[in-house]
Structure 1
């Protein structure tokens, strides 16, 4: 999960929302539960527990990987990525890119400015505020994008994959804050899939250092802020 804080006053921070949603998911993800209804129940419980309403709530991406006897199931809601490594040596990258596909002009403009050396200036911050407002207008509605927030019906719009288990060798889940610098650094996902927990931690620190020292102003990798939350999870079968 990768949370985003609401700017409405009195709304809990994203970290509190993510912790509550994660705990609720752990309760509802029993072995035979369908993933979208389990996520819907978790969103409903979280909204009730924190007193949240649609449009006045933190939000979070969700990526779920479940390994069953014959099937690997993947659910994606928001722009967290799951990479599926196949037993034949190939791999596939799966991302819910509906937010990025909206084509909101401010998104292209802030990236263009960063690539030309503007840095994170006042104009950049204004563009982000305008972008976030436009995104809120299209959140959890047809023709827009879907995210875990306070509306349980968003779960029904998650991207679903069911893959034969015997065709899967490994999976990597990555937030966009980890995926983007990893791709900029050219580190193969096949290598990452074989790393230990300590090695994954070192990789995330390398990404953070690259952002701070090599690309502090977002010219190489135009992004909304210098550093974003970075999470990686690896499953090997």
Structure 2
């Protein structure tokens, strides 16, 4: 098994809110990758004394452990248990019912000699390259649907409309303190024989394709395999610096935390 990863904060003055984790069983047959993108809260109180980096490191670590040790438990149930375990660490000190309690997007894959399982929650894509070289993106597009619908609302109400659909019916979902979001993730399973390689990206890295249009998903995967995750993130940073005000490529942040994992299981 070959795994390579890179993660870089969007702002050197702020902690990185992404998480990259991988594991391989002692048998050497199989493995797990977990990628989380912590959601930066708006200024003000989010009900938590610990913060997003604390949350993603604990949720990510729990998901790596559980998905690796509970081979017969579906990834969605592993995520539910990881959310429950993480919530138990701070429910006595923090207001976990706060709508902006620390939360994260999730991209996870687990493979054995027979199968490859995957899970995606919110906007961190997982890419699967088949033995034929074709790249299949696994996407949870519910946030995109909410953003498109919000554009039709009056400018002063757009933010409130988006927030009202966070972890709500008809909206989009992230991993926060409620394990009931886990079954709502995009999941699936493929024969191991059909999969040549996997890649997971936070949206700070996937803007290579989704915002800057440097190539399609296949070209992005080619770049990862040829040059590695750090080089891909470097290309994103160069594109950001070339358009600092977001004039040519509108985006919420000029620079975002960017992480990528490449696995050749």
Indicate the TM-score class for this superposition, using the shorter chain for normalisation: 0.7 to 0.9
Match of 1:53 in 2: 96
Query: What residue ranges of structure 2 are gaps of 5+ in the alignment?
Result: 1-35
Structure 1 stretch displaced more, 220-229 or 199-208: 199-208
Which residue in the other structure is 2:235 paired with? Answer: 206
What is aligned with 1:81? Answer: 125
Unaligned runs of 5+ in 1: 110-126
Distance in structure 1 (CA, Å) of the matches to 2:176 and 2:157: 20
Structure-2 separation of matches of 1:225 and 1:153: 30
Aligned length: 216
Q: d(CA) in 2 for partners of 1:160 and 1:98? A: 14
**Larger relative contact order (Cα-Cα within 8 Å, sequence gap ≥ 6):** 2
- After the TM superposition, which parts of structure 1 deviate over 6 Å for at least 4 consecutive aligned residues? none
Higher share of residues assigned strand: 2
Name whichever structure is richer in helix by fraction.
1
Match of 1:119 in 2: none
In the TM superposition, residue 90 of structure 1 has moved relative to its aligned partner by 1.2
RMSD (Å), alpha carbons: 2.2
Return the TM-score normalized by structure 2. 0.74
| Distance in 1 between residues matched to 2:87 and 2:65, nearest whole Å | 15
C-alpha distance in 2, partners of 1:134/1:155? Answer: 23
Alignment partner of 1:222 out of 250, 256, 265? 250
Once the two structures are superposed, residues 156-185 of structure 1 have per-residue CA deviations (whole angstroms, 9 ceiling, x without a partner) of: 101001111111111111111111124522
Residues of 2 paired with 1:206 and 1:17: CA distance? 29
User: In 2, Cα distance between the equivalents of 1:72 and 1:59?
Assistant: 26
Counterpart of 2:64 in structure 1 is 26
Label 1:170 to 1:27 Cα distance change in 2 as closer, same or farther (>3 A): closer
Q: Distance between the aligned counterparts of 2:203 and 2:125, measured in 1?
A: 7
Q: Does 1:158 align with 2:198?
A: no
Query: Once the two structures are superposed, what CA deviation does each residue of 1:36-67 show, in whole Å capped at 9, x if it has no partner?
Result: 11101111111221224232411100011101
Deviation at 1:132, TM superposition (A): 4.5
- Deviation track 1:15-34 (CA, whole Å, cap 9, x = no partner) reads 11101101221332222221
Query: 1:24 and 1:130 mapped to 2: Cα distance?
Result: 37
